[in-house]
Structure 1
Amino acid sequence: MSAGKIGLWSLTALVFSSMVGAGVFSLPQNMAEVASPLAVLIGWLITGVGILLLAGCFLLLSRQRPDLDGGIYTYARAGFGELVGFCSAWGYWLCATLGIVTYLVIVFATLSLFTDTSGQILFGEGNTLASLLGSSCFVWAVHWLVARGIREAALVNLVATVAKLLPLLLFILLAWLAFHLDLAMLDWRGLELGVPVWQQVRQTMIITLWVFTGIEGAIVLSARARRRRDIGRATLLGVGLALTLYVLITLLSFGLQSRAELAGLHNPSMALLMEQMLGAPGKLIIGIGLVVSVCASYLSWTLFAVEVPWSAAMHGAFPALFRRQNGQGVAINALWLTSLTVQLSLLVIHWQEESYNSLLAISAQMILVPYLLVGVFLLKWSWQQGVRGAGQYLIAGGASLYGAWLLYAAGLDNLLLSLWLYVPGLLLFWWARRGGEIQPQAAG
């Protein structure tokens, strides 16, 4: 049973949970700080189109190339060769592993709202000794849970996803009832910001750049899916639900306070807005929701981070030791690699927080290259197969353009600096090749 396959709703929950983590609880302030309601609306429209095109690529490839289990890595490998495939897998794994460390920091920083006082700091900003001990316990608790089986971990994530949906839906309902159109129209074009609307739109897209990372969740776990057709369905369902929530939360918030007032809120800003509508219990509800949300996202990303080295090792791009599975069908050495890396990162953030934040900002760029390669691979595959009709080419070409835009919006300087993080990965690639584990495969 532990090695059982994952069904549609568990896959959908993994996609949704990986995208909707801590950021959604700060979106009202984050958006209002840089953009007007009009710019936010345009930004979400562009982002929605781009992310749906990317989801469409995953859907088409899951149906037309069912032989490519593992998605992110196998698409890059099949389309552009062993080295590009490895770099895609390494970049994705490193970004996922370092990224989930921030979830632990956010959890304990949120708990400090209820435990810390002016005279006693327990969890602080999530970087105190108490936070380090609590985070470490959480890391190894999740390690134990995942080691018991991917299916069991996915079911736990499904329950947690439903739990974190409740406070978000409650916020949307109350915000809808308390919405004041005059507040939203007060600075509709953002004249107070002193920048044109198009520049505001670009600023919103830098924020939305990260909220959809995780769209590939069902693809990464495609080898574990109960039915192949569930992969594309789960991707579209997860993206559609997340996009709907993001748009409603950000736009409705403009009807609760003026843009300037929203911009001045402390984060998580949703908690303060909820307190405004529901009193003190509202802040508590959002605080609990944030903790549950982040924990669920941590679990989702751990599953992804474990799956990628295993998939790459099965094709010989990672050393053979990462192929090993325990009795429950879990890639146990890949799990150990991920958990130990997270633990080491926690020690780094405890002792050298600034250095870690810089590393995280650079490594975050690495997930965008695999996204770009998905669209380009579908474009290449469609051309090679002589696909007729413009539909598939429009989806692949549009997703490729969106991926290129994301790289530009994220900052080319950080992308170039992130190349240094590929150096230790290339040592793994050399190790695998030296052991004769890679079976050459022609690109295409």
Structure 2
Amino acid sequence: MHATENGSPQAGVAQKPSSGASTKVTVATLTMMVIGSMVGAGVFSLPRRFAQETGVLGALIAWVVAGFGMLMLAFVFQRLAKRKPALDAGVYAYAKAGFGQFVGFFSAIGYWASACVGNVTYWVLIMSTLGALWPALGEGDTWVAILLSSIGLWLFFLLIKQGVKEATAINRIVTIAKLVPIIVFVLIAIFCFHPDVFVDNLMGADYAGSLMTQVRDTMLVTVFVFMGVEGASVYSRHAQKREHVGRATVLGFLSVFAIFASVTVVSYGILPMGEIAALRQPSMAGVLEAAVGQWGTVFVSIGLIVSVLGAYLAWSLMAAEVLFVAAKDRDLPKFLAKQTGDDVPVNALLLSTLLAQVVLVITYFSEEAFDFALDLTAALSLIPYFLAAAYALKLVVTRETYLHERPRRLAADAVIAVLAVVYTLFLIYAAGLQFLLISMIFYAPATILFAITRREQHRRVFSTGELVLFAVVVIGAIVGVVGLAQGLIQL
């Protein structure tokens, strides 16, 4: 039995045996995993994505809403890490523990897919950055860009295959290095700040809708840049102490929140929002060039490449980790549980790279490759986030692990869980039906992995309730395919 914070036994949690010589990492390394996961491609795209939707006021409201909501999610992961320390790869494991194996499968596969699609945005943005110098790369969506990105995918596969210890050490160094150009950008933008331009951008441009619409339309990009807040939880089996998981989660979140909000707001003091909205990605480079000249683009471009490669490394590790732990728990086919002698889940890593390769090819047919991949990444993560928050709420309602807690602790955790559930539901609403249907197109065929798992265990593939859920997913997938075929849903 495990103990809760105040020493009382934690109901329903059994001690897991060690799975072998697993590499253990410190709280500092876990924090760097969180920061490294969140600070990637998204921060360099923030000026344009926000300027396309809203002005200063809407941006401030959006960051308050997103920051508060994601902080509640960070607290959820913090508390779940303490109360359910035996659950590895948190996002997936919490959904399974709370709502059954099939729901847990969808959470695992959705979170895994969002990580893989997110990795594609990194390569698209790198090629778009280099495209300013080599036009053949376009905005990361030409055949030349796809070819070079594919080479990069497989080179990183070979790097990570060498060992988790080496990969996490590289990630820690890169995370520190990539924060420098972002902080320098903010400082230069403050020095070159034009109050009159900022005031003109205050209420938004003519193309922006109502304030509520403006805020809603920025939500997916805020989800994308905050993805990774659960990084320490996903990588929890490698933590030296389980309490380090929660500490790293909150420290990582607070470290990057100020950076993201600052990058967005100071940009409104450099250029009119209509001009920012027309910049090519990475738009941070265009903003800095307007402030200091051509060297600003070069400076940001170098910082972006370092940043994105570091984030890609972190997300590749986390994507493979989710598949590996699910397979170890016998919720995915057993071939995904294979490890090398260096603690690398090699087949899970291979499948993750293959999915990223497929999505990379699909971006060739998209009108806005980067924006499509970014929005799809965020949309795929919403259901797993919602299920984790709902599990925290379920623990409070059933009082599991709270039998000997003070009422004040129970009330505080209840408020956090409710707010996190409300926030994730709002995100699903803000994403819209389009991306929900596209995600169903992925979920439906991916269920083959679930069927293989059940057959390996000589079990019935679906219970009655699981069959109903699967039918809903298939219907959603069919509607999504018809929408794509008729042009009602645009890639």
1:436 aligns with 2:457: yes
Instruction: Write out aligned runs for 1:184-333 (5 A).
Output: 184-190=198-204, 192-193=206-207, 195-333=209-347
Displacement of 1:359 after TM fit? 8.4
Which consecutive residues of structure 1, in runs of 5 or more, have no partner in the other structure?
none
Between 425-434 and 94-103, the greater mean CA deviation after superposition: 94-103
Q: Which residue of 2 aligns with 1:67?
A: 86
Question: Which of 411, 414, 423 lines up with 1:402 in the alignment?
Answer: 423
Displacement of 1:264 after TM fit? 3.6
1:8 aligns with 2:24: no
Q: Secondary structure at the match of 1:87?
A: helix
1:3 touches 1:149 (CA, 8 Å); kept in 2?
no
Displacement of 1:20 after TM fit? 2.0
| 1:435–1:59 Cα change, 3 Å | same
Q: Aligned partners of 1:345, 1:242: CA distance in 2, in Å?
A: 28
| 1:378–1:428 Cα change, 3 Å | same
Q: Which residue of 1 aligns with 2:119?
A: 100
Q: Aligned partners of 1:157, 1:439: CA distance in 2, in Å?
A: 42
Query: What is the TM-score with the length of structure 2 in the denominator?
Result: 0.82
1:18 touches 1:213 (CA, 8 Å); kept in 2?
yes
Q: Aligned partners of 1:190, 1:349: CA distance in 2, in Å?
A: 30
AA in 2 matched with 1:407: I
AA in 1 matched with 2:121: T
1:400-425 Cα shifts (integer Å, max 9, x gaps): 00010111100134313422322222
Question: Which of 394, 418, 423 lines up with 2:444 in the alignment?
Answer: 423
Q: Aligned partners of 2:115, 2:419: CA distance in 1, in Å?
A: 25
| 1:104–1:264 Cα change, 3 Å | closer
Instruction: Write out aligned runs for 1:144-183 (5 A).
Output: 144-183=158-197
| 1:12–1:437 Cα change, 3 Å | farther
| 1:19–1:370 Cα change, 3 Å | same
Q: Which residue of 2 aligns with 1:56?
A: 75
The answer to which structure, 1 or 2, has the higher relative contact order (CA under 8 A, 6+ apart) is 1
Q: Aligned partners of 1:41, 1:355: CA distance in 2, in Å?
A: 26
1:363 touches 1:421 (CA, 8 Å); kept in 2?
no
Q: Aligned partners of 1:236, 1:430: CA distance in 2, in Å?
A: 37
Between 262-271 and 393-402, the greater mean CA deviation after superposition: 262-271
AA in 1 matched with 2:435: N
| 1:151–1:255 Cα change, 3 Å | same
1:95 touches 1:363 (CA, 8 Å); kept in 2?
yes
Question: Which of 354, 357, 361 lines up with 1:343 in the alignment?
Answer: 357
Q: Secondary structure at the match of 1:267?
A: coil
AA in 2 matched with 1:245: I
1:371 aligns with 2:390: no
1:114-152 Cα shifts (integer Å, max 9, x gaps): 233xxxx2x223234432332222112211221121121
Displacement of 1:187 after TM fit? 4.2
Between 263-272 and 90-99, the greater mean CA deviation after superposition: 263-272
Displacement of 1:262 after TM fit? 2.8
Equivalenced residues, count: 433
1:380-434 Cα shifts (integer Å, max 9, x gaps): 1122225523210000000000010111100134313422322222211111111
Q: Aligned partners of 1:194, 1:110: CA distance in 2, in Å?
A: 27
Q: Aligned partners of 1:135, 1:264: CA distance in 2, in Å?
A: 25
| 1:346–1:232 Cα change, 3 Å | same
Which consecutive residues of structure 2, in runs of 5 or more, have no partner in the other structure?
1-20, 462-491
Between 356-365 and 322-331, the greater mean CA deviation after superposition: 356-365
Q: Aligned partners of 1:180, 1:394: CA distance in 2, in Å?
A: 41
1:315 touches 1:439 (CA, 8 Å); kept in 2?
no
Between 90-99 and 398-407, the greater mean CA deviation after superposition: 90-99
